[in-house]
Structure 1
Amino acid sequence: MTAPVFEEYEPACDCPCGGCVEQRRLLAQGLSLRAGGHPAAHGARRALVLVTAAGVALSATGVGAGEADADTGGSAAGAALGTERADTDPDPATPQGASGPLYGRPSAGPSPDHSVDTLRVTSRAAIINRAKLWVSAKVPYSMTKYWSDGYRQDCSGYVSMAWNLDGNEWTGSLSRFGTRIAREELQPGDILLFHNPSDPTKGSHVTIFGGWSDYTHSHYFAYEQTKPTTRAQSTPMAYWNNSASYVAYRYKGVTGGNSGAEADTAKPVAFPGAKSFGPGADSADVTKLGRMLVARGGGHFYSVGPGPRWSEADRSATKAFQRAQGWRGAEADGLPGPDTWRYLVEGLGKDIPATRAGRPGGSDARPAYPGKGQFRPGRSGEHVTQLGKRLVKRGYGDHYVTDPGPRWGEADRRNVEAFQRAQGWRGSAADGYPGPETWRRLFA
């Protein structure tokens, strides 16, 4: 007989069909134990190989499927066959990184909650702005790699970054930094956390709440670190699976929307002094300043991420933030003083205004709407590229597999639809084709 031919394929990361769901689960189970795979998965895979080989042999001898099932009965091989059904194990493996310091920095101590007593004060706007940084950068998911800011590239590392914690936490420790709240009390910057204590690699996950995406509060705008890259999209409350197990938490150091008791637990970071900044300065305080400025809208001043050595980018971003507060003269010289530092640390004042193409001094004018007819299959033009780049910048580029281009395609339509649905629109108002209001909001 002719041996069967098996073709391997890469499952789509967001395809809901049974085949892709099952393949994603099997690929996750294929992780080594060292990389966070589940021990049971390796036994199941070995049994599956045996069953597959046995199936080919049985076919060669003419034994029917019914006879093979009768022979396997309740054996391990039969159990392995059972794991092939997508509906028996819908949750992919979610390997976890452990609590630890920021990459490249020494540990602050053996206790997993060593930083709870020195929380950094932040605002909801600052949390969301920090979350958007990874969305815009399309940070790849990894439980072993670290982004340039020192945070681990998994879901809990992402929340650690957004909450501006002084180390990398995991789903088993993040609750220490928050106060449990009811889902009805959720506000932007809060999180929805599911930690599976019996097997943390089985379904444990955490997302950042970005606001309700519909008036029924059945969906919300979730910022999350997941494969393949960081994304932000409308998500059913509380998640696609294990929904009932997710718990809402509010960061203890957030300003606004929390009780006085919670606010009292947060201690602001003291101003390190004027000597820590300016030409020749080289310290972690400069990096901290740069990151806070990026979170407040100053990212376009940096060609690379903020670093410890003082640069013209630091001065320009600081000056832009100072001028955004209405300060002039010596109060807006680009060198942070106590007031500038306090505004940044506590999330006070106004953010740095956006500039066209990310250039200081550029025009803030919104491009004119070219007309709905320009966004149809087969149409091509600069406005399509402009639309695509804006979608990516706003965090709605999940469906692009390459950089946005001039030819209108299904990826453009699906990304526009995601943006429209995030506004709470449904039906014909969320058909994926940009109208004047979609354009206005997208470029606002």
Structure 2
Amino acid sequence: MTVPAFEEYVPAIDCTCAGCAAQRRTAASALPVRYGGHPAAHGARRALVLATAAGVVLGTGVAEAAGAPGATGDRAAGTAGAARTDPSGDSPQGGPGPLRGGGASGPPSATTTTPKLRTTSRADIINRAKKWVSAQVPYSMTKYWNDGYRQDCSGFVSMAWNLPGNEWTGSLAAFGTRISRAELQPGDILLFHNRADPSKGSHVTIFGGWTDYAHTHYTAYEQTKPHTRKKTTPMAYWSNSGSYVAYRYKGLSGGSAGGGSSSTGFPGAGKFGPGVSNTYVTQLGRMLVGRGGQRFYTVGPGPGWGDADRRATQAFQKAQGWKGKEADGIPGPDTWRLLAGGTGRDIPGAGSGDRNGTQPGHGDSTPDSKFPGRGYFRPGQSNGHVDKLGRQLVKKGFGTYYTSGPGPRWTEADRRNVEAFQRAQGWRGGAADGYPGPETWRRLFG
């Protein structure tokens, strides 16, 4: 008979054969014990890998398919009714360790201390991710790309976040601040670390932006088999979706993509207040505008402290639920941290009475009595409210995208015209998604 090639392989997560089950139990052995590796597995890892491969070849014949050229982690043979929604979701990883030279292999040694954070921007994070996508970096939990980062999911995020070393799903959270999924912005991550069995299902992706108004899908940058990819992905992932947690890098500069300051450190309360003029006041104003405070500024923002800065700051503070001296309109360390980090609740629209941290025009929490409801303005809907909305948009000068009409049937032209109106209010992101909410309706017809 043909002598099988005894080489290491990674079995599918859903395969129930004895060989794959044994290999999964030892997959964590490349990791230090304190990171989830099993202490009894280290001495027998290679022997068990060989035995596993031989057992599969001689006992079931599945290894021929597993070792065939072009085979992926989706090995459904012998597993009834266990087909994966996304066959490339099996992404085992190495443990934390230093950067390595190009093409180096073998499990890295664990780091003993958490390195100092490097400052980076959202644009830089996405651009670094795109480099691996363009290069189609092959997936590997033991090899390292020419930039020194390990070619697995956690090594990919370590590279994009510009971390000083290679991390894994059990340590990446220490470099980020936990946020809600509603707060996700490009450069943030969605992380699932299976504490019970780190080698089973643990994965991490980079959030690249929403792909639909309902926030059911997003653009994911990820390192998975066979190579780095950019793909529209269901929120939060193909499997274990409910277990993924959103994180924002702690060393992020500025509060939004493509803008903000190069520093996140609070400059001190003395930089703000009557009679003060400096670049920090300008920076504050720009961050406030980006968080829904544009209506407070008739001119600016600029370096001279004014009542617009105080009112916008106070509105942001109140949006966080702060009262009294905590919402006096003068930024302190907490106000600055939320603004610079892009976290916390945005400033609600005028008169919206927002209580949930959502922006006007999309998640307004205080309904207008004249607003008929969001259900009338969705694909496939046809009613008098759509026609009324379209005619008012034209009257207000926001009918650019109508080639005919408006009419009673909701179309993409209606959505784009509503979006143009919302953006004219200074709203961005989910606040300007083209679907009217109570505040959008109030401003159109008020």
TM-score calculated relative to the size of structure 1: 0.41
- Higher normalized helix content (fraction of residues): 1
Indicate the structure whose relative CO is greater, using CA pairs within 8 Å and at least 6 residues apart. Answer: 1
